[in-house]
Chains A and B, each alone.
Chain A
Amino acid sequence: MKRRLILLAAAAALGAVAFSGDRFWLQFLGKAMIGSILAMSLDLLVGFTGLVSLAHSAFFGLAAYLLAGLSNRFDLVNPIVTLPLCVAFAAGCALIIGWLSLRATGVYFIMVTLAFTQMLFYLFNDSPALGGSDGLFVKARPIEGRAAAYVAIWTAVVLVYLLLSRMLRAPYGRVLEGILGNEQRTRSLGYPTRRYKLVAFVIAGALAGLAGYLDATLHGFVNPAQLGWRQSGLILVTVLLGGKGTLYGPALGALLLAFIEHYGERVTAHWNALIAALVIAVVLFLPRGLAGLVPGTRRA
């Protein structure tokens, strides 16, 4: 109950910022909430299915690049067209990459997703036609105006949370729970586990694509660094910091990290060391992440 109140209060506060019209806060919190979408969707894999993927940033970047391409080359920006296109593109890429990666398990799975991510990074980084290392500007954006983009992002965060928590309570979520606990046994109970994992991978990839789409809309540019594995690593850290296996943990973790980064930068140029220290402390003393500090039930 307490947890639900905290979440409602956080959502209401974030929503209210839309009315402030403050350019800095809209940009800052908009970006932080995109981080929440990324963290929640990666948590579907890491915390609920036991799949540690380093390809999450790839789907984010692919959707963002597609939006830039549609906007720049075809003058196609209408979100009713571009949003489903970009999300479906990310989902399609996740289907292919997931289908291949899920042939491997454990640490090999991690390595295969890492390899795909690096391949895509160099593809974009080294192709002048794709913007090279500078990236691309999105000349005309699907949603003009920072406040409108902010509202779209806020809506997306709320919907993603509701969608994922609903899914995890449905029969599909029960099977993921089984795979996380004992995949071999889940299979012997009659579930084709690889197919279930692939579906999770595709859903997570689609949501990462949604985040990428929103990010390109908010900032008006994409660059290959957003696609690289360091970005995936950062999302993974967010999930662990927030508390894997809970949706609200990673969502709030992303917000917290944004604040640490922002204020840490003022205190010291080595703010990354602050985050590192925090991660070490959380891993050692709060195995359930920051979510472990929030009273309430154990899941979603």
Chain B
Amino acid sequence: MPEVLLQTEALTRRFGALSAVDGVSLAFEEGQVHALIGPNGAGKSTFLNLLSGELRATAGLIRFRGADVTRTAPDRLSRMGLGRTYQTANLFPELSCADCVWLAAQSRLPSSMSFFRSAERYAQVGVRAARALEWCGLAARGDAIAGRLSYGEQRQLEIAMMLATEPSLLLLDEPLAGLGHDEALRIVELLRKVARGRTVVLVEHDMDAVFSISDAVTVLVDGRVLATGSPSEIRASAAVREAYLGEEIP
């Protein structure tokens, strides 16, 4: 029986009269890629923002490794091992790629309230940062300014920054959105590599990518769970086909 790393119980987030996430109870098992799909406005991004602490739940519970983290701040969650990427690239546009991953890697020091020793002398931070850059295929782009990268490279950098924090749970918010065909293929390849042996919550519209990478798929509609199952079960489900009427399911 695989261990449940992250669990939500009747998680709800309301914006005024609208319930963007409405009583969602899900379990994310260790080592699995669990995808969330659903039409636009289904509450997928809101759900991720609740998990990463950037939004507060109106009701319900989130447990991470058994501990209640429903009201835990994003920085605490990050230090507990939760890493994420954003739907639109969310970088440090003025910094070089190397400095972006450096900042991410440095966050794993016991404290960065260190005022006198030059940052370059923290060798283990440099090693972790360089490894993350290389992993994501940006080893040669260390000096490039983040804000001037191509869209695909910005996604690579997002993923490198996330990996540099050495997370045990990854939240990926539409990593393929807005990418051209070739760039998307490259990122899918990277995601496949990243997902190996890690626990991932993946929100994505690209169905080919979702069904090829995921171990489990949950369909959200109007903030509620419509179905959860293996990719083949979801593909075969009549209810899911109906929810996606007009949209293509492979």
Contact = CB atoms under 8 A, between A and B. Distances in A.
Interface string B95-110: 1000100111011110
Contacts of A192: 73, 75-76
A281 interface: no
Interface in B12-28: none
Contacts of B73: 187, 192
Contact of A188 (B75, B92, B99, B117): B75
A169 B118 contact: yes
Given A170-B115, A173-B119, A190 B108 contact: yes
A190 B107 contact: yes
- Size band of the B side of the interface? 35 or more
Interface residues of A, number: 25
B112 A175 contact: yes
Interface in A151-168: 166-167
Contacts of B54: 184, 188
Given A181-B94, A182-B91, A189 B119 contact: no
B78 interface: yes
Contacts of B165: 189-190
Contact of A178 (B52, B92, B117, B118): B92
B219 interface: no
B74 interface: yes
Given A189-B165, A192-B73, A171 B106 contact: yes
Contact of A177 (B76, B93, B95): B95
A169 B119 contact: yes
B78 A188 contact: yes
B198 to A, nearest CB: 18
A199 interface: yes
A187 B75 contact: yes
Given A169-B119, A189-B161, A190-B75, A181 B93 contact: yes
Given A182-B90, A182-B91, A182-B92, A190 B79 contact: yes
A189 B91 contact: no
B90 A184 contact: yes
Give the residue among A166, A169, A188, A192 with the most B Cβ atoms within 10 A.
Answer: A188
Contacts of B79: 190
A124 to B, nearest CB: 32
Contacts of A184: 54, 90
Contact of B75 (A167, A169, A171, A193): A193
B199 to A, nearest CB: 18
Give the residue among A167, A175, A193 with the most B Cβ atoms within 10 A.
Answer: A175
Contact of B115 (A172, A186, A188, A189): A172
Contacts of A3: none
B212 interface: no
Contacts of B161: 189
A175 B125 CA distance: 14
B103 A177 contact: yes
A177 B161 CA distance: 16
Nearest to B161: A189
Contacts of A188: 52, 54, 74-75, 78, 84
Interface in A115-133: none
7 contacts: A166-B116, A171-B109, A181-B93, A188-B84, A189-B103, A190-B79, A196-B113
Given A171-B119, A175-B112, 16 more contacts: A166-B116, A169-B118, A169-B120, A171-B112, A171-B113, A172-B114, A174-B102, A175-B106, A177-B92, A178-B92, A178-B95, A185-B91, A186-B103, A188-B54, A188-B74, A189-B78
